[in-house]
Amino acid sequence: MLAELEEKKAKLKQESLIFKERRSQLNAEASRWAAKRNELNKETKELIEKAQELKKLRDEYNTKVAESKRLRDELNEKTNQIYAKIDEIRKKYNLSGDRSIRELRREIDHLEFRQQTEVLSPDKEKQLVERIAMLHNEFKLRKEQLEKNEELKKLLEEAQALREQASKHHEDVTRYAELAQEYHDKMIATFKEADQKRAEADAAHREFIKAQEAADEQHREFIRTQREIRDFDKIIMGLKKKSRDAREDRAKEAAKREAEEILNQFKKGEKLDTTALLRLQRAGLV
């Protein structure tokens, strides 16, 4: 039975070492996943901060777009008011044709906007360019006719100055809108990259949990085998002590029987040597 217990104990020790080694491997794996997760979370945070900065820049340029539009529209409104005044004077003195210079200006602006923003076929593009050129010539002739009147000339100069200012603000609108769109696109791309990093970090965290739980299971098995090894040690030590005590008892009993035999011989008149006396003494008979 003792040999069987020793064999089971040795097997448990081997299992315990395997559990310990596997636990160490899984803890190392969990640490690697945790480090990767933490790095990805750090990168995600940095990307979100970058995206927030891009959003701030986008919003700043959108504010500039709105302000430039406001200034442009105010100047265009003042220009239209001057052109309306010019038309009143023109009609009053029957100057130039029926079509007002304001209407010409509006149509030119409308067609130039179409040319800049619409995708046209070559034929339509050519027609549009020819139409704009014709209107510019008509506007120029009307302007020259009107400028013969000093009051109208002054109003036309004022309108032109306002129009140039409005044109500058319109250029600002375009420039700021392009920058706002550029930062918007970068912001969206950065947020998408942050989402990807966050997804990778979440996946790494799931792997960390998986490895950690597996390591915990190996640790529990290691603790269980260690506990069973200690239980076997107690049983084996108890059996060894019991066996040792039994051997000692048998030895004492044998010594006692031998001493009693020597004593009987002494009683019968036989002489005892020193060795026999020592045996009697150890048996407690003398």
User: What's the pLDDT tens digit per position in 66-84?
Assistant: 999 999 999 999 998 998 8
What's the token pair of residue 40?
A: 């990805």
**pLDDT digit string, tens, across residues 103-118:** 778 788 888 878 877 7
Higher model confidence: residue 241 or residue 166? 166
Q: Crossing angle for the helix pair 101-117 and 122-146, nearest 10 degrees?
A: 150
Q: Quick check: 233 and 9 in contact, CB under 8 A?
A: yes
Q: How many CA atoms are closer than 13 Å to the CA of 65, on its beta-carbon side?
A: 14
- Rounded-to-integer distance, Cα 170 and Cα 241, Å: 104
Reported as a single tens digit per residue, the pLDDT across 19-29 is: 999 999 999 99
Q: What is the reported pLDDT for 30?
A: 97
Per mean pLDDT, which range of 73-87, 142-156, 158-172 is the poorest?
Answer: 142-156
Report DSSP letters for 177-235, one per residue.
HHHHHHHHHHHHHHHHHHHHHHHHHHHHHHHHHHHHHHHHHHHHHHHHHHHHHHHHHHH
Task: Indicate the pLDDT class of residue 217, thresholds 50, 70 and 90.
Answer: very high
Average pLDDT, the chain: 86
Cα 106 → chain centroid: 52
Q: For residue 285, what are its two tokens?
A: 């008979």
CB burial string 102-129: b at 16+ within 10 A, e below: bebbebbeeeeeeeeeeeeeeeeeeebe
User: Which pLDDT score is estimated for 88?
Assistant: 82
Q: What is the pLDDT of residue 187?
A: 97
Flag whether the pTM goes above 0.75.
Answer: no
At 57, the amino acid letter reads L
